[in-house]
Chains A and B, each alone.
Chain A
Amino acid sequence: MPLTFYSKPGLVAYVTCGDPDLATTREIVLAAIEAGADVIELGVPFSDPVADGPVIQRASERALKHGTSLGQVLTLAAEVRQHAQSTGLIVFSYLNPILRMGMEKFCRVSRAAGVDGALVTDLPVEEAEEYLRAMRGNDLAPVFLAAPTSPDDRLKRIAEASRGFVYAVSRTGVTGARQQLADDARKLVKRLRRVTKLPIALGFGISTPEQFAEVGEFADAVVVGSAIVETVERNRGREAAAVGEFVSGLSAFSSPPSAHSKSPRRSKDARYGAPAS
């Protein structure tokens, strides 16, 4: 399925797979989709999550204790795909587990599972040649992170390599909910608009409906990660219901596409094809 944002702003929901266990993760993901998530980022836990703050660090540690692996996450993706035909599924992982599995194998198995794309946290676009070849060859969308500190020429490079959407990071820092959205966020999206026609999803630090609505004014989609992972942490025994409620609360602030435009906001080539920009 193409990566499509059905509402404005679209909602990208991140979960750390395997916390508390894979079966619960499946329920959480389906609940998030039911509540309005357009795209799910399936987080693969890693021993050294250098770009993550304490919430996702803790979730990763818990998930790793049961031996959650990249292979298991891809199996989970296939299960989710069976129940959700129109939701975008992105594998969100650090590079080493993917390298260990093998770039080509990772892409093949992902495609077979019905995954739409991937975001590799610590793989900069400058080092992504082999990755892009494998992703292309398997019809998968590579999503990259654009940071406020990236100069314009780098933003252009990121945009050109990206498919599906561009993930704009709202501030310098690691994942984790914050009270105020930084100024960096608006400026970054503005700069990105100059170099890409792809939808722009903004993430890092968004946890409240107010922030969600505010970001929705200038970005095409909002990524919510740590807030969801923390909801899971704080609602043992009723994780899926709690996440469903939380996501409903956010998507109440989205409007369906008919209110703003004729069709869902998506890139012409949501799967790999000709560059959109």
Chain B
Amino acid sequence: MAALDELEREYEKAKRDSKFQKRLEELLRTYAGRPTPLFFARRLTHKLGGARIYLKREDLLHTGAHKINNCLGQGLLVDRMGKHRVIAETGAGQHGVATATVCALLGFECVVYMGTEDMRRQELNVFRMRLLGAEVRGVESGSRTLKDAINEAMRDWVTNVRTTHYLLGSVLGAHPYPTMVRDFHRVIGREARAQILKAEGKLPAAIIACVGGGSNSIGIFYDFIKDKKVQLIGVEAGGRGEALGEHAARFRGGSPGVLQGTFSYVLQDSGGQIALTHSVSAGLDYPSIGPEHAALRDAGRAEYVPASDAEALKAVTLLARTEGIIPALESAHAIAEVVKRAPTMKNSEVVIVNVSGRGDKDIGIMRENLNLD
């Protein structure tokens, strides 16, 4: 608790510190590559024959996904707290890579925890982290994926809390993480809102984003929450079936529970044990969901739908061949949803899809699963 209180205090101070904000903005711009483009997907729009589709290109950010927005923000807090060691959990590896990147940039010792199952399916990212100077520790317990990596990172943190900052990668965990991580990703939606008004002179009818922990989605949703006519659609991992253990769709069969410091919707059994989950995409393979998403869903402000492994894989090929963009498997879930939704909408309506990351890390899985003719 003391560490959480300290983090909250430092974060609140930093929020009001214009020097901090300037430094963060400068790094986002000159190092990470912000602002990211909002791209009109002409061929995809034509092919689906409905709404006009814009893609928010978080895949073009340095390290290949939106994760670095949050890593830069938290990275700048580490010094302020007098710490020199950073730990992180990672699922698909993108957050791990972004953390290792920022630690190399700012000169911190870095340890990343990753489930051994995820290490196998995201080998490219494991190598990148090590090349960047981070130590990657494989986690063998439980399902050997993201939630197990978080358990191990939390154990490290409580043990080394005086010297170490836990750079959590999504809008999960105890307060202040869900709020702070969302704030660091708000730039996505802030940019997209200005960009779409410039391009179309009006707000979109809908915004679609994939939801694992929920960072990229809350990042793009947040500045549109007040625009009541804009539908917010989160896409969860529908996996390979509806039975518990075959997917990671928290709003399909999950119920309120506490996991890893957060009270939210959790996939669990009747005894309150946390369920195993499945998704072809490591980054969506997590049994709980950011509490702000739970609140938006319960308030009826956002809706959450699943996309299956098969639908996501199909969407990869579609986007690659229609727009020349290979999305990460996570982001492909959002593409899968626009494939279903755009044809039901008018051409005068605009949809923005968040492409949260690029697909290089997934080449191995794609090779196993895609039949390229």
Contacts and interface: CB of A to CB of B under 8 A. Distances in A.
Interface of A: 46-51, 53, 57, 61, 64, 67, 69-71, 94-101, 122, 124, 126, 147, 149-151, 154, 172-174
Contacts of A174: 155, 158-159
Contact of A173 (B3, B142, B159): B159
Most chain A CB neighbours (cut-off 10 Å) among B147, B154, B258, B260: B258
A100 B272 contact: yes
Interface in B239-278: 256-261, 266, 268, 270-274
Nearest to B1: A124
A48 B274 contact: yes
B124 interface: no
A268 to B, nearest CB: 28
B158 A173 contact: yes
Given A47-B142, A174-B155, A100 B1 contact: no
Count chain A CB atoms within 10 A of each CB in B150, B158, B162, B274 and give the residue with the most. Answer: B158
Given A48-B142, A51-B158, A151-B2, A101 B272 contact: yes
Nearest to A126: B1
A97 B271 contact: yes
A199 to B, nearest CB: 23
Given A61-B141, A172-B158, A48 B151 contact: yes
B161 interface: yes
Contacts of A147: 1-2
A51 B268 CA distance: 19
Contact of A154 (B2, B147, B161): B2
A44 B196 CA distance: 53
> Chain B, interface size: which category?
20 to 34
A6 B98 CA distance: 55
B159 A47 contact: no
Contacts of A57: 141
A202 to B, nearest CB: 17
Interface of B: 1-3, 141-142, 147-148, 150-151, 154-155, 158-162, 256-261, 266, 268, 270-274
Contacts of B259: 48, 96
For the residues of B in contact with A, the DSSP-based class is: mixed
Contacts of B270: 100
Contacts of A49: 151
Given A46-B273, A47-B274, A57-B141, A99 B256 contact: yes
A98 B273 CA distance: 10
A101 B269 CA distance: 11
Given A48-B260, A97-B271, A150 B142 contact: no
B140 to A, nearest CB: 10
A60 B154 CA distance: 18
Contact of B261 (A53, A97, A99, A122): A122
Given A94-B258, A96-B273, A154-B1, 20 more contacts: A49-B151, A51-B155, A70-B271, A71-B271, A96-B274, A97-B271, A97-B273, A99-B272, A100-B271, A100-B272, A126-B1, A147-B2, A149-B1, A149-B2, A149-B3, A149-B161, A150-B2, A151-B2, A154-B2, A174-B159
Nearest to A158: B1
B142 A96 contact: no
B2 A100 contact: no
A122 B142 CA distance: 19
25 contacts: A46-B273, A47-B274, A48-B147, A48-B151, A57-B141, A64-B273, A67-B271, A70-B272, A94-B258, A97-B272, A99-B258, A99-B272, A100-B257, A100-B268, A100-B270, A147-B1, A149-B2, A149-B3, A149-B161, A149-B162, A154-B1, A172-B158, A172-B161, A174-B158, A174-B159
Contacts of B147: 48
B260 A50 contact: yes
Contacts of B142: 47-48, 61
A101 B151 CA distance: 23
Contacts of B162: 149, 172
Contacts of B258: 94-96, 99, 122
A133 to B, nearest CB: 17
Nearest to B271: A69
B161 A96 contact: no
